[in-house]
Amino acid sequence: MKWYHYIACFFAGLFLINTVPHFVHGVSGDSFPSPFANPPGKGLSSPMVNTLWGLGNLFVGYILFKVGKVSTENKWSLLIFFAGVVCMSIMLSNAFVDKIH
């Protein structure tokens, strides 16, 4: 694999894990911060905006997953993919602490 496949693996992890909070809040009918809120990332966006944002992240993450050729045969691609998941998970937990409820 070329170096840019590994970059795609990492960003696939970022985008796919970012799908979860936005999509779950959106389909649950809850308002939740998004980049489209006022102020961006701090204000609350409607459930529809979050559902669409979650689906957009899912689409981009899937494309990057395929481009990155993430597979169990290539342990490095899987490791870098999960490094992206871990990084975004930690960033999201810090970004959204005490922001909702």
Query: Is the confidence at residue 8, as pLDDT, over 80?
Result: yes
Mean pLDDT of the chain: 94
User: What's the Cα-to-Cα distance from 90 to each of 22, 38, 41, rounded to whole Å?
Assistant: 16, 23, 16
Side chain identity, residue 45: S
CA dihedral 42, 43, 46, 51 (to 10 degrees): -10
pLDDT tens-digit series, residues 27-79: 999 999 999 999 988 889 999 999 999 999 999 999 999 999 999 999 999 99
Query: Is the confidence at residue 84, as pLDDT, over 70?
Result: yes
Q: What would the two tokens of residue 73 be?
A: 């045969």
Q: How confident is the model at residue 96 (pLDDT cuts 50, 70, 90)?
A: confident
